[in-house]
Chains A and B, each alone.
Chain A
Amino acid sequence: MTLGMRIGVVTFPGSLDDRDAARAVRIAGGEAVALWHGDADLHGVDAVILPGGFSYGDYLRCGAIARFAPVMEPLIDAANGGLPVLGICNGFQVLCESHLLPGALVRNDHLHFICRDQQIRIESTTTAWTSSYAAGQEIVIPLKNGEGGYVADSATLDQLEGDGRVVARYVGINPNGSRRDIAGISNARGNVVGLMPHPEHAVESLTGPTTDGLAFFTSVLAGMVNA
Chain B
Amino acid sequence: MARVVIDVMLKPEILDPQGKAVEGALSRLGLAAVTSVRQGKTFTLELAGDVDDTTLAHLHTLAATLLSNPVIEDYVIREVTA
Mark B1-25 against chain A: 1 for CB-CB distance below 8 A, else 0: 0000000001000110110010000
A interface size (C-beta, 8 A): 20
Among the stretches A38-46, A69-77, A106-114, A206-214, the one at the interface with B is: A106-114
* A152 touches B (CB below 8 Å): yes
B66 x A68 contact (CB < 8 A) = yes
Contacting residues, chain B, for A104 (C-beta < 8 A): 69, 71-72
Taking CB atoms and an 8 Å cut-off, the chain A residues in 30-88 that contact chain B are: 60-61, 64-65, 68
Given A96-B71, A151-B72, A107 contacting B66 (CB threshold 8 A): no
Contact yes or no, B15 A109, CB < 8 A: yes
| A177 within 8 A of partner (CB) | yes
Contact of A97 among B15, B17, B69 (CB under 8 A): B69
Q: How far is the CA of A177 from the CA of B15 in the complex (A)?
A: 10
Q: Which residues of A contact B67 (CB under 8 A)?
A: 60
Which chain A residue has the least Cβ–Cβ distance from B18? A107
Interface residues on B, range: 10 to 19
* Contact status B15-A106, CB under 8 Å: yes
- Is there an interface contact between A103 and B17, defined as CB atoms closer than 8 Å? no
Q: With a CB–CB cut-off of 8 A, which chain A residues contact B10?
A: 106
* Interface set, chain A 90-130, CB cutoff 8 A to B: 96-97, 102-104, 106-111
Selected contact of B66 from candidates A60, A111, A149, A151, CB within 8 Å: A60
Q: Which 7 interchain pairs have the tightest Cβ spacing?
A: A104-B71, A104-B72, A111-B17, A107-B17, A104-B69, A109-B17, A61-B69
User: Which residues of chain B have a CB within 8 Å of any CB of chain A?
Assistant: 10, 14-15, 17-18, 21, 66-67, 69, 71-72
Interface residues of A (CB under 8 A from B): 60-61, 64-65, 68, 96-97, 102-104, 106-111, 149, 151-152, 177
A-B contact pairs, 22 of them (CB 8 A): A64-B66, A65-B66, A68-B66, A96-B71, A97-B69, A102-B71, A103-B71, A104-B69, A104-B71, A106-B10, A106-B14, A106-B15, A107-B17, A109-B15, A109-B17, A110-B17, A111-B18, A111-B21, A151-B14, A151-B71, A152-B71, A177-B15
